[in-house]
Amino acid sequence: MARNIRVNVEYLTRVEGHGNIVVNVKDGKLEQCELDIIESPRFFEGMIRGRSIFEAQHITCRICGICSCGHTLASIQAAENAIGFKPSRQTQELRKLLLHMEELDSHILHIYLLVAPDLLGVKSFVPLISSHNEVVRRALRMKKMCNDICDILVGRHVHPISSIVGGFTKLPEEKDLDAILEILFKLQADMEPTIALAATLKFPEFERDTEYIALVNDGNEYPLLEGDIGSTDGLRVKKENYKGVTNEFIVPHSSAKHTRASRESYMVGALARFNLNYDKLHPKAQKVAEHIGMKPKVKNPYLNTAAQLVECVHCLEDAIRILKEFKETGIRQEEAVIVGLNEKGTIPVRAGRGVGAVEVPRGILFHDYEVDEKGKIVNANCIIPTGQNLNNIEHDMRKMVPEILEQSDEAITLRLEMLVRAYDPCISCSAHFLNVKFVNR
Amino acid sequence: MSNLLTAEVSDALKPSSGSGLILTAGNPFRRDDGVGPYIASRLQGSSAKIIDAGLTPENIIDEVIGLKPDRMTVIDAADFGGYPGEVKVIPEDLIAETSLSTHEIPMNVITKIISDGTQAEVVFIGIQPQTVALGEGLSERVQASAEAIIQTVLQAYSKPR
């Protein structure tokens, strides 16, 4: 018999920020299926107009407490592109290390604290504190280790201080490299049981073919910090032309804009990167993917979490590589730069436009600045990964709901919530977002 | 005993029979939210074992568990609808369960991890803020309550145990 279903989740938990899921099925026909984003816009782009590009990263990193390093790096990249500054190899390697720690930190918390409870059949990670105390402590211990490395590298756990346009105000000394490497080896020890645990988790079965978008390059490196924009549909454009990829548009039920590229929607994030750049993952990360049965092209969005696990291994191993290389070559301390607001003209400035495109934990992040001849920002645009995924989540929901109509309202609600959580959305960052409203089925 | 503090609060600030510790948390750049770190800074060097978790209480879990406390007294700004500067012992089940995300882990979740790992008794002392606006320095009433707590702890820990 055709059913009427009303799902109305007016506060989705275990995501960052606020959003609602609304599903309305009438006489067995899907009439409404929306992800309402109800966060207020943040106006960061307006805030940095008239400010110096040399302070923009300190402001824009406040868009997000988890992706603060990613925003810092995208902001710096946009600024350096705008004024024509080319960072040194040492600077880029240290920036990659910083980004690796952020990916690892964010992915670990998402896998352990936000997704694992669903897969272990509990409402939140709080019951796991008693049933899996060591597991919860391991998750938080790994998070702390990533934070501690950031502290050593850029002066703070979050919101980097020493990472600036031009390089770093303070560079790690020999003892700092030793301290970071020691922490990385401890992380390596905690990664083994993490992989073992994740391999036991059973993800829901669902597939929808979509376009996956991430940074790509022609080299051998898994691109996180640099590259062109590429897609599984064959798109490849320079980052400066990102607007031709994102094609933002407004929908009435969301304070965050939606995006689409070659087809109705696209996905960014760990699964997109995995699908596009699998061959460039560290061999140990590829081995983990094989162990859990993943091979591109993976079309199950729930496996974004599994792709995050694979990336954890990659980021950790590549971080160790970077550290070992620095141990051999040493750090060129003379590259430290004190720029301030560039009052002394330490870095030559010119008018221009620059785009930063960085793969942060939830996907590709764009910062686009136009600066005047004094280095003041006259125009800015930031496009956050969660915003790019919203349209794709809705299309997933529209395909999935008719496939699971025979299930109870509770089961449908849970599957929808798990779907949204699999994308690891950062809603307040995108509003530029979770509650589920079933309206009739 | 300060008349700003109830007998219940003063008792909660006394040393435990074993290895008790005081845990504070908060943001010194959000005015009265910084009352915990302020108290911690003033108690450094005293015989009270005190750890300030600042903005990342999840990062002190292993350190605290390693200390094997039998009691953990948490001091934090808390909006319980009292008058500014009011100090109260707050039952654990009344600590708000804020939405858990990768961005924020509620304090009662942190203390549960610690108490499950150590069997420590947990006592929450909340101080009602007047303002948590951006800025430094405590409001007058919250400052007075902080001083009362500091003096009570110093006195309690100066006595032979």
B99 and A CB contact within 8 Å: yes
Collapsing DSSP to helix, strand or coil, A178 comes out as helix
Number of structural domains, chain B? 1
In a domain, B87, yes or no: yes
Neighbours of A290 (CB within 10 A): 11
Report the distance separating Cα A83 and Cα A374, nearest Å.
10
In a domain, B1, yes or no: no
Neighbours of A61 (CB within 10 A): 23
A124 and B CB contact within 8 Å: yes
Contacts of B41 (CB under 8 A, 6+ apart): B52
Collapsing DSSP to helix, strand or coil, A193 comes out as helix
Report the distance separating Cα B57 and Cα B40, nearest Å.
14
B27 and A CB contact within 8 Å: no
Strands B71-77 and A228-231 come out as: unpaired
Collapsing DSSP to helix, strand or coil, A162 comes out as coil
In a domain, B79, yes or no: yes
> Which chain A residues have a beta carbon less than 8 Å from that of B101?
14-17, 114
* DSSP output for B17-73: SS--EEEE---TTBGGGGHHHHHHHHHTTSSS-EEE-TT-GGGGHHHHHHT--SEEE
CB A425 within 8 A of CB A67: no
In a domain, B82, yes or no: yes
> Which chain A residues have a beta carbon less than 8 Å from that of B103?
16, 64-66, 426
Residues of chain B with pLDDT under 70: 1-2, 96-104, 160-161
Q: Given this model, what pLDDT does residue A171 score?
A: 98
Question: Which of B29, B63, B92, B101 to substitute to test the interface with A, most A CBs within 10 Å?
Answer: B101
Q: Given this model, what pLDDT does residue A431 score?
A: 42
Question: Which of A102, A137, A147 to substitute to test the interface with B, most B CBs within 10 Å?
Answer: A137
In a domain, B99, yes or no: yes
* pTM, 2 dp: 0.87
A107 and B CB contact within 8 Å: no
A356: exposed, middle or buried (Cβ count in 10 Å: 0-12, 13-18, 19+): buried
Contacts of A206 (CB under 8 A, 6+ apart): A300, A301, A302, A396, A400, A403, A419
CA-nearest of A54, A144, A34, A51 to A337 is A54
Containing domain of residue B89, as a range? Answer: 7-158
CB contact under 8 A, B113 and A133: yes
CB contact under 8 A, A424 and B113: no
> Which chain A residues have a beta carbon less than 8 Å from that of B116?
129-130, 133
Q: Given this model, what pLDDT does residue B68 score?
A: 92
> Consecutive 10-residue runs of chain A (441 residues): their mean pLDDT?
70 65 87 79 86 94 86 97 97 98 94 86 82 88 95 90 95 98 97 90 94 98 98 98 94 87 97 98 97 95 97 98 97 94 91 97 96 95 91 95 91 90 73 42 43
Q: Estimate the crossing angle of helix A68-83 against helix A89-109, to 10 degrees.
A: 150
Collapsing DSSP to helix, strand or coil, A326 comes out as helix
In a domain, B112, yes or no: yes
Phi and psi for A217 in degrees, rounded to 5?
-150, 175
User: Which residue in the block uniquely carries the two structure tokens 């995108």?
Assistant: A430
Element (H, E) at B143: helix B140-158
User: Which residue in the block uniquely carries the two structure tokens 């690796």?
Assistant: A100
Chain B residue closest in CA terms to A147 = B59
CB contact under 8 A, B116 and A14: no
Number of residues in chain A: 441
Collapsing DSSP to helix, strand or coil, A426 comes out as strand
Q: Given this model, what pLDDT does residue A427 score?
A: 61
* DSSP output for B69-86: -SEEEEEEE--SS--TT-
> Which chain A residues have a beta carbon less than 8 Å from that of B57?
none
User: How far away is chain B from the Cα of A360, in angstroms, using its nearest Cα?
Assistant: 14
In a domain, B63, yes or no: yes
- Measure Cα distances from A239 to A211, A216, A262, A277, B27 in Å: 17, 10, 16, 17, 38
CB B88 within 8 A of CB B82: yes
User: How far away is chain A from the Cα of B120, in angstroms, using its nearest Cα?
Assistant: 14
Q: Given this model, what pLDDT does residue A435 score?
A: 40
Residues facing A254 on adjacent strands: A37
Please tell me the number of Cα atoms within 13 Å of A199 on its side-chain side. 13
Q: Is the ipTM of this complex over 0.90?
A: no
Collapsing DSSP to helix, strand or coil, A368 comes out as strand
CATH number of the domain where residue B49 is located: 3.40.50.1450
CB B120 within 8 A of CB B71: yes
A149-194: pLDDT as tens digits: 999 999 988 889 999 999 999 999 999 999 999 999 999 999 999 9
In a domain, B2, yes or no: no
